[in-house]
Structure 1
Amino acid sequence: MERHTIAPRPDWQQIVEQQGVIYPLTRHPDDSLRPYWDESAYYSFSLPEVEALEETVAELHAMCLAAAGHLVEHDRLAELGITDPRVVRAVTEAWHRRVELPSIYGRFDLRYDGTGPAKLLEYNADTPTSLVEAASAQWFWMEDRFPGADQWNSLHERLVHAWRAQAKLLPPGVPLHFAHSSADELGEDLMTVAYLKETAEQAGLDTDWLTMEEIGWDTLSGRFVDNRLRFIRAIFKLYPWEWLTTDSFGGHVLDTLDNGGGTGSTLWIEPAWKMLLSNKALLAILWELYPDHPNLLPAHLDGPRDLADTTGYVAKPLLGREGDGVTLHPPGSPAPPEPEDLCCYQALAPLPAFDGNHVVLGAWVVDGEPAGLGIRESSGLITDSYARFVPHVIL
């Protein structure tokens, strides 16, 4: 794994915008605009490195599924902050019926510097973004800059195959709706959903789309309807389950939830059991079940324990996104105030720095299989909304 500098293509911004990355710049607190898509650098990997990372991702995914099963079987959802009996019931039923429910993708965030085993930082298995740049823009960048090279990137083909393979789980004769929130000002959620919709269409599915805010409720029939007043029978939502179940229409979601049993009216993708994997508490459950595993960092739910004096620790809100609420505590630092939200306390393993840039690998899983890589760089140790996406090649 090496970082290289390279001159960006002359019309890079226009090129990536045409490829779906309509958010190539990020506005920073000083009101400056700086590249989010950053092709002034790239990372190179050897084929054996990528093959080893693929094996790691496959093993981590299997371990996460085993941990999810453990949480359900031992009635431990309260440790994830899932205490509403109706939500517990929905998640539990979805887990038991998971083979009947479409589940498309997720993204592992890994710490890796090319010299030791990759370490799991978190698993976003419900609403991961940075998909368009990983699947599309960096592939075309490679074809422009390194024709004949390769990339860890079978995302597009695997997504199309996943929709085609799971089409039999969808209600027949109705469109599959795709939805994102209109609160997305940058367009990242919009383009992620648009890209997934395109892959579903390439798989032969009939699709339509709308925003989450446009979803209506027909009080007479007790069904969700779209902006053309058609029943929404199946929908992919780029919208976290913890929001979906607590919004004003959350009760309707739970009342009409189709968990594969054919008794509900709306099938949501990703399914409710993904709440078990996108919760940071999963990190502590994994450490409990697989102590000292080479791809895991020590993690606890009841406090940092000995991490406070040994490695230091990171306090992560169980449901935070893009680094929100994450705090770093080096060894021996004063004890912080009690956090307002439930947290997972994970051993501090600072992100490796390449030319002063702190790097996290986003390893994608599609239909349960390793599918590709996206790399983000940040100036600080927390990968937040100001991080940059940098392409990669296999040399």
Structure 2
Amino acid sequence: MRRAYGTPRPGWDKIIESQGLAYHRAAHPEGLSRPYWDESVHYVFSMAEVEELEAQVEELHEMCLRAAAHVVETGRFADFAIPGWAVEDVRRSWERRDPHLYGRFDLRYDGTGPAKLLEYNADTPTSLVESAVVQWFWLKDTHPDDDQWNSVHERLVDRWAAMALPPGPTHFAWTAMDETGEEAMTLAYLQETAEQAGRSTVAVAMEDVGWDDLNRRFSDVEERWIRSIFKLYPWEWMLADPFGRHAVRHGTWIEPLWKVLLSNKALLAVLWELYPGHPNLLPAYLDGPRDLTSYIVKPLLGREGASMRVVTPGGAHETPGEYGREGFVHQGFEALPEFDGQRPVLGAWVVADEAAGLGIRETTGLITDDTSSFVPHRIERS
């Protein structure tokens, strides 16, 4: 693994916009000198490194599924701040194995040892368009003889074709709260993969999803029955909404309700309990840092690196935010590796239950947040 430099393609911004990354200018806070998509640099891996990462990601995913089973079997829903009224619905969703589509592991990796799990974005992961599409075309344009860890698109299409969903169209829901366009473009891309798999689809705003109290079902603005629906609206938000009590019991939602067990950072502590000392895990506890001298405090339901606190013998660093009402997990802290002053975090994609590809974001800070840039990668052919 190494960081390499290159010359951006002429008109690179128009190229990536034509490929779906229309939100790259809005994805960053104002005032940053570095673009969100940065193809002046990229990471180079060997095939052996990628094969090792792929195996580790699939093992981590299996461990997470076993951890979810443990939570259901032992009734540890309170550790995940799941409302009492929704507990049995989460349990039934897991026991039914309601169909799931994809997720993204965030990993610490420097090429010299096993990857370390930072968190699992299992409910509403983004940076999908740049991972599945944009960096693939960058590779074809700039390094056509090399390869890339990237079968995301093909696996998504195959997964949609294999999923047992109710008859009728699958709705794809965005929310008016999306100010950057990232969610809309991510949904449009996923809708396209579903259509390539032969599914009929309908786009709908989450705010326009209605509840028919008489017939006990959800419908859209044209009064079509919503039998299955993909959303990038987190389950914890849905459980806090009045209609959440209907959502947990009616319709097929993707991602399914049981994903609340994998998208919650309490999962990190459960994994450490079940697999203490595992080479791909960092110590993590729900009741405090215990004997950790360097650790990071993460809100159970935090997003975009907000409301976190890094504590080391040299001091503490906090990020702003309003998360944390539900509680925190304390995870052992190992700084992201540094390459030319930048710190990459590897986003490893899982489609269904198989590792599918890689996206990399990097920043100069200790915590990867909305100021990070996405950079492509390639596998060097020997």
Same fold, judged at TM 0.5 (above): yes
CA contact (8 A) 2:27 2:36 kept: no
1 CA distance for matches of 2:28 and 2:118? 25
C-alpha offsets along residues 191-233 of structure 1, whole Å, 9 cap, x if unaligned? 1111111000000001001111111122332321112111111
1:88 equivalent in alignment to 2:87: yes
Q: Is the 8 A contact 1:318 1:342 kept in 2?
A: yes
Within the candidate set 345, 359, 373, 1:374 is matched to: 359
1:304-336 C-alpha deviation (Å, 9 max, x unpaired): 0111x3xx1000000111101111111374899
**For residues 388 and 28 of structure 1, do their structure 2 counterparts lie closer, same or farther at Cα, with a shift above 3 Å needed?**
closer
Q: Deviations over 1:320-362 (max 9, x none)?
A: 11101111111374899xx654001000110111111111000
* AA at the equivalent of 2:310: L
CA contact (8 A) 1:107 1:128 kept: yes
Matched, 1:133 2:130: yes
- Which amino acid is the alignment partner of residue 370 of structure 2? S
Unaligned runs of 5+ in 2: 319-323
> Given the superposition, is the C-alpha separation of residues 30 and 245 from structure 1 closer, same or farther in structure 2, using an over 3 Å criterion?
closer
- Tell me which residue corresponds to 2:321: none
Which structure 1 residue ranges, 5 or more long, are not aligned?
A: 258-264
* 1:354 and 2:349 are equivalent in the alignment: no
SS at match of 2:158: helix
Match in the other structure for 1:39: 39
Partner in structure 1 of residue 240 of structure 2: 246
2:166 corresponds to 1:171: yes
SS in 1 for 2:149: coil
- Partner of 1:20, secondary structure, is coil
| TM-score (norm. length: structure 2) | 0.95
Distance 1:358 1:33 in 2: 17
Give the structure 2 partner of residue 200 of structure 1: 194
Paired residue total = 375
Alpha-carbon distance change, 222 to 340 in structure 1, aligned in 2, over 3 angstroms: closer
- Other-structure match for 1:209: 203
- On the 8 A contact 2:120/2:262 being kept in 1, the answer is yes
**Partner SS, residue 389 of structure 1:** strand
Percent of matched pairs sharing the same residue: 59
Partner of 2:253: 268
Correspondence list, 1:185-196, <5 A:
185-196=179-190
State the secondary structure of the residue aligned to 2:313.
coil
1:18 aligns to what? 18
> What code does the residue aligned with 2:309 have?
T
1:262 corresponds in structure 2 to none
1:335–1:22 CA distance, 2 compared to 1 (3 A):
closer
In structure 2, distance between residues paired with 1:273 and 1:217: 22
Shift of 1:378: 1.1
Q: Which amino acid aligns with 2:268?
A: L
Q: Tell me the secondary structure at the aligned position of residue 25 of structure 1.
A: coil
Pair 1:324 & 2:321 matched: no
Judge conservation of contact 1:287–1:299 (CA < 8 Å) in 2.
Answer: yes
Hey, what does 2:73 align to over in structure 1? Answer: 73
**AA in 1 matched with 2:124:** T
Partner secondary structure for residue 141 of structure 1: helix
User: 3-state DSSP class of the match of 2:246?
Assistant: helix
Residue-by-residue CA offset, 1:119-161 (whole Å, 9 max, x unaligned):
0000011000000000000000000000121000000100000
- Per-residue CA deviation, residues 9-45 of structure 1 (Å, 9 max, x unaligned), is 1111100011001122257666456411111100000
Write the letter of the residue equivalent to 1:97.
R
Q: Secondary structure at the match of 1:319?
A: coil
**Matched position secondary structure for 2:138:** helix
Cα RMSD (Å): 1.6
AA aligned to 1:171 is: P
Which residue number in structure 2 is paired with residue 314 of structure 1? 296
- Structure-2 separation of matches of 1:340 and 1:277: 19
Give the direction of change, closer, same or farther, for the CA distance of 1:30–1:209 in structure 2 (3 Å limit). Answer: closer
> Is residue 158 from structure 1 mapped to residue 160 from structure 2 by the alignment?
no
CA–CA distance in structure 1, aligned partners of residues 337 and 136 of structure 2: 25
Distance 2:317 2:219 in 1: 50
1:260 aligned partner? none
Q: 2:224 corresponds to which letter in structure 1? A: R
The structure-2 alpha-carbon separation of the partners of 1:394 and 1:124, relative to structure 1 and needing over 3 Å to count, comes to same
- Partner deviation per Cα, 1:95-126 (whole Å, 9 max, x = no partner): 1110xx22110000000011111000000110
Give the distance between the partners of 1:297 and 1:267, measured in 2 at CA. Answer: 34
Amino acid at match of 2:3: R
Instruction: Give distance in 1, aligned partners of 2:187 and 2:359.
Output: 18
Paired residues of 2:231 and 2:255 also in contact (CA < 8 A)? yes
> Which residue does the alignment assign to 2:55?
55
Distance in 2, Cα, partners of 1:373 & 1:137: 12
Partners of 2:195 and 2:317 in 1: how far apart? 52
* Equivalent-residue separation in structure 2 for 1:225 and 1:334 (angstroms): 49
Give the match for residue 105 of structure 1: 102
Counterpart CA distance in 2 for 1:58 and 1:234 is 27
